[in-house]
């Protein structure tokens, strides 16, 4: 038997208190923590109050609100940022009820009287699904944090470069002539908002170099090059590397004049 995730609780909802007690006793003996409720109103309040509830085990036919309607209400409350799975119990399952339940996303259903061992296996399957979903969410949050960290490091690098650069050295390499190259025309105004390192990357992109070649030339990682390239391509009218190369080509100024 898999050891249940202690962060996941089971919300048990049935208008018959004896059934709730029996289910909770069985699940707790199997290592789960349960939140017992005899009404749908109690269930909604408990779900809102306890974010550790990840599994909902509820009766289909209850006063005020049936199990399908309860699940729909909980789905609205959970939104996109809280994952949970719902399992229905029913003593008289109508085919249309089953179809509707599956259509709204209810994970499974069981006929009463319930085979407790079969129910436990079903709960464990849903728990495994929740664990994988939690892992995916955590990885997504981690990737966002890493992206933010990379951008913060880039901002810090730009500040350091600005602080180190003496005023008289403000002329950018793009405006200077290198051996074997034609003279660079004055760069478009939109490129002046870039950092020195971003402009270095842009210049090498305009020469047709790959990310790997740029990384070797500048002594940085290929992933860092990708980050710089993506930042440069956020500029207006820079939809791809070809447009960037044309905008920074030595003949860009002549092309612009001819166009007029």
Mean pLDDT, the chain, as a whole number?
Answer: 78
Examine the domain organization and report whether 27 and 104 are in the same domain.
Answer: yes
- pLDDT value of position 257: 44
Q: How many domains does the chain have?
A: 2
- Specify the residue for token string 């990885």: 139
Q: Is residue 216 included in any domain, yes or no?
A: yes
- pLDDT value of position 251: 57
What is the pTM for the complete model shown? Answer: 0.53
pLDDT of 67 > 90? The answer is yes
Q: Is residue 212 included in any domain, yes or no?
A: yes
- pLDDT value of position 174: 46
Name the token pair of 198.
């971003």
Q: Counting every residue, how long is the chain? A: 260
Please report, rounded to a whole number, the percentage of residues in the chain having pLDDT higher than 90.
Answer: 34
More confident residue, 216 or 15: 15
pLDDT of 209 > 50? The answer is yes
Query: Mean pLDDT lowest for which of 2-6, 116-120, 122-126, 206-210?
Result: 2-6
Owning domain of residue 192: 167-259
pLDDT in tens, 16-55: 999 999 999 999 999 999 999 999 999 999 999 999 999 9
The arithmetic mean of pLDDT across residues 133-143, rounded, is: 67
pLDDT of 179 > 70? The answer is no
CA 29/CA 45 separation, integer angstroms: 25
Examine the domain organization and report whether 179 and 77 are in the same domain.
Answer: no
Examine the domain organization and report whether 71 and 177 are in the same domain.
Answer: no
The residues with which 53 forms a beta bridge, in sequence order, are: 9
CA 30/CA 25 separation, integer angstroms: 9
pLDDT of 186 > 70? The answer is no
CATH classification of the domain holding 92: 3.40.50.2300
pLDDT of 183 > 70? The answer is no
3-state SS, residue 69: helix
Q: Is residue 25 included in any domain, yes or no?
A: yes
- pLDDT value of position 17: 94
For residue 217, how far is the Cα from the chain centroid?
Answer: 34
pLDDT of 2 > 80? The answer is no
Asked whether 14 and 89 are in contact (CB, 8 A), the reply is yes
Q: Is residue 2 included in any domain, yes or no?
A: no
Q: Is residue 151 included in any domain, yes or no?
A: no
Using DSSP, how many helices (H) and how many strands (E) does the chain show? Answer: 10, 5
Examine the domain organization and report whether 124 and 230 are in the same domain.
Answer: no
The arithmetic mean of pLDDT across residues 114-137, rounded, is: 87
- pLDDT value of position 75: 94
- pLDDT value of position 196: 80
| Ramachandran region, residue 224 (left: φ > 0; alpha: ψ -120 to 50; beta: rest) | alpha
CA 171/CA 221 separation, integer angstroms: 26
Q: Is residue 48 included in any domain, yes or no?
A: yes
- pLDDT value of position 171: 46
Q: Is residue 152 included in any domain, yes or no?
A: no
Instruction: Return the CA Rg of the chain.
Output: 31
Task: For residue 232, give Cα distances in angstroms to 2, 42, 147, 186.
Answer: 50, 54, 16, 18
Examine the domain organization and report whether 42 and 97 are in the same domain.
Answer: yes
Examine the domain organization and report whether 18 and 120 are in the same domain.
Answer: yes
Examine the domain organization and report whether 202 and 91 are in the same domain.
Answer: no
Examine the domain organization and report whether 136 and 173 are in the same domain.
Answer: no
The arithmetic mean of pLDDT across residues 73-102, rounded, is: 86
Q: How confident is the model at residue 169 (pLDDT cuts 50, 70, 90)?
A: very low
- pLDDT value of position 99: 84
CATH classification of the domain holding 253: 1.10.10.10
pLDDT of 145 > 90? The answer is no
* Last residue in a domain, options 140, 159, 181: 140
3-state SS, one letter per residue, for 79-108? CCCCCCEEEEEECCCCHHHHHHHHHCCCCE
Query: Mean pLDDT lowest for which of 45-49, 135-139, 180-184, 223-227?
Result: 180-184
Q: Phi first, then psi: what are they for 208, rounded to 5°?
A: 90, 15
Q: Is residue 27 included in any domain, yes or no?
A: yes
Long-range Cβ contact pairs of 35-40 (< 8 A, separation 24 or more): 35/9, 35/10, 35/11, 36/12, 37/11, 37/12, 37/13, 38/13, 38/14, 39/13, 39/15, 39/63, 39/64, 40/13, 40/64, 40/65, 40/69, 40/70, 40/73
Examine the domain organization and report whether 201 and 102 are in the same domain.
Answer: no
């Amino acid at each position: 038997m898999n050891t249940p995730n202690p962060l996941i609780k089971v919300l048990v909802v049935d208008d018959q208190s004896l059934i709730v007690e029996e289910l909770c006793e069985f699940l707790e003996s199997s290592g789960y923590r349960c939140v017992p409720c005899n009404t749908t109103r109690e269930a909604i309040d408990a779900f809102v109050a306890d974010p550790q509830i990840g599994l909902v085990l509820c009766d289909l036919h209850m006063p005020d609100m049936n199990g399908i309607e309860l699940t729909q209400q909980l789905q609205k409350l959970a939104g996109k940022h809280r994952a949970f799975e719902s399992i229905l119990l029913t003593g008289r399952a109508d085919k249309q009820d089953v179809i509707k339940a599956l259509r709204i996303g209810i994970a499974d259903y069981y006929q009463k009287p319930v085979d407790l061992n079969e129910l436990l296996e079903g709960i464990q399957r849903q728990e495994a699904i929740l664990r994988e979903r939690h892992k995916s969410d955590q990885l997504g949050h981690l990737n966002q944090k890493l992206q933010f960290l990379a951008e913060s490091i880039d901002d810090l690098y730009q500040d350091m470069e600005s602080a180190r650069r003496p005023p008289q050295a403000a002329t950018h390499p793009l405006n200077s002539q290198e051996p074997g190259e034609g003279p660079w025309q004055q760069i478009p105004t939109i490129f002046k908002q870039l950092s020195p390192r971003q402009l270095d990357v842009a210049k090498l992109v305009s020469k047709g170099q790959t990310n790997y070649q740029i990384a070797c030339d500048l002594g940085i990682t290929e992933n860092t090059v990708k980050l710089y390239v993506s930042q440069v391509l956020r500029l207006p009218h820079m939809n791809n590397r070809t447009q960037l190369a044309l905008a920074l080509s030595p003949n860009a100024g002549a092309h612009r004049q001819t166009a007029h």
